[in-house]
Amino acid sequence: MRLPEDKFDLDAVSKLEAAGYPAIAPLLDDLVAWIADGNWPVARPVADLLVSTGAGAIPALRGVLHGNDPIHQHSVLLLVASRLSPDVVAALRGDLEQLATSPTLDQIQEGVSELAERILQKLDLPRLS
């Protein structure tokens, strides 16, 4: 198994899909980097792969959500977090609330806070106090 070598390496993504989870678990932190730009050809297939891992993707997603790249955060929210099952995305509730209620200016400009709020509303998760 190998990671994509470039943004066009759909063959590598297909092989990772075939291997499935948990075989790809050690690669999840590196895979999440391939959705930094949602326009890359590998972004959507990698996002599909991350969604298919369910809760296994949470640590890798958190790494991005706690980072300093609002464009990557937006891609993670749009392409992965918004498509996770309610019970899995509930594990990100605190992260989503932080992004929705205390965003940086860059996160506001990139739509991260708005998207986090929409995910919370769609899933009707109770607010943490």
pTM: 0.93
Per-residue pLDDT, 77: 98
On whether residue 16 sits in a domain, the answer given is yes
On whether residue 32 sits in a domain, the answer given is yes
Per-residue pLDDT, 126: 55
The CATH number of the domain holding residue 57 is 1.25.40.750
On whether residue 109 sits in a domain, the answer given is yes
On whether residue 86 sits in a domain, the answer given is yes
| Structural domain total, the chain | 1
- Angle at alpha carbon of residue 40, lines to 35 and 43, rounded to 5°: 35
Range(s) of the domain holding residue 103:
10-123
Q: Residue 49 has which token pair?
A: 């792969």
Three-state secondary structure call for residue 111: coil
Per-residue pLDDT tens, the chain, 129 aa: give them: 899 999 999 999 999 999 999 999 999 999 999 999 999 999 999 999 999 999 999 999 999 999 999 999 999 999 999 999 999 999 999 999 999 999 999 999 999 999 999 999 887 755 555
On whether residue 129 sits in a domain, the answer given is no
Residue 30: φ, ψ to 5°: -75, -35
On whether residue 3 sits in a domain, the answer given is no
